Amino acid sequence: MENYTLSNGVQIPVIGYGTWQALEGETAYQAIQAALAAGYTHIDTAAVYGNEKSIGRAIKDAGIDRASLFITSKVWNTERGYDKTHQAFEKTLSDLGTDYLDLYLIHWPANAQQFPEQWAALNAETWRALEELYQAGRIKAIGVSNFLVHHLEALLETAQVVPMVNQIEFHPGFMQESVVAFCTAHHILVQAWAPLGTGKMLGNETLISIANKYEVSTAQLCIKWCLQHGTLPLPKSVTPARMQENKAVFDFTISDADRQTIDALPYIGGSGLNPDTIAF
């Protein structure tokens, strides 16, 4: 597995194993054990996923050295603010059975629809807690998730540390160009959640045709496309064979012409979640 280098020099594996959606309890435990056996060292989770305890148990039972893993989690929306973020972080560490995180993110920005007068201040206070934990050496890198340009601009007005990562929905048909451009300009690595969309990528005739040309799966094509855009994809599968397939993308390169064809695809599926209008 190759690595990206974050703005603070921390190395992060270029493909992570995503654990969002239906990965709880024994399912999560078995999936993480399979992912570790398949060679994944980068695990992405969040408190709200409800699987941190299962992930921690799977890692412990696998007997893998913690230092060889890159573990990401996120503070959930109900725990925003300086004090609550500190408390949420301690619970995440306890549930995962570790004494540090490699990356900790603000899961969603507080938005103006929910918090008309205080969204920026709420994000700033949450970020202040992350900065403090980072400076204390309890997190190796800190970042945000689902932040649009105006959320990032507001955060940078008071931030002492520029986020190292912004994890956003990114896949064919939904590239969020303005967010990616802003992140690139500020040396913020973009992580791509839902790199296969909502599964509709896998049935798209254009993507299938291009994938056939390279003798790869449509999922592999989408993951490689993310990598060639300099983003970090976080595919999820509970099938061991697909876990292996999703990380076997380093022996082909998408041509510029084919990449441009994929770039030009219209919206063909996604979560539909807008950070400015979410109410959770």
Local structure of 23: helix, strand or coil? coil
- Backbone φ and ψ of 103, nearest 5°: -150, 135
User: Which residues have C-beta within 8 Å of that of residue 249, sequence separation ≥ 6?
Assistant: 15, 216, 220, 223, 224, 227
User: Which residues have C-beta within 8 Å of that of residue 47, sequence separation ≥ 6?
Assistant: 73, 74, 75, 76, 79, 88, 91, 92, 95, 107
Cβ atoms within 10 Å, residue 41: 18
User: What is the C-alpha separation between 276 and 150, in angstroms, rounded?
Assistant: 10
Establish whether 49 is a catalytic residue.
Answer: yes
- Selecting among 49, 100, 104, 134, the annotated active-site residue is 49
User: What is the C-alpha separation between 193 and 99, in angstroms, rounded?
Assistant: 26
Enter the tokens of residue 147: 């932040």
User: What is the C-alpha separation between 172 and 174, in angstroms, rounded?
Assistant: 6
User: What is the C-alpha separation between 16 and 213, in angstroms, rounded?
Assistant: 26
User: What is the C-alpha separation between 235 and 202, in angstroms, rounded?
Assistant: 13
Cβ atoms within 10 Å, residue 112: 15
User: To 5 degrees, how large is the angle CA 256–CA 257–CA 259?
Assistant: 65
Local structure of 189: helix, strand or coil? strand
Query: Known catalytic residues?
Result: 49
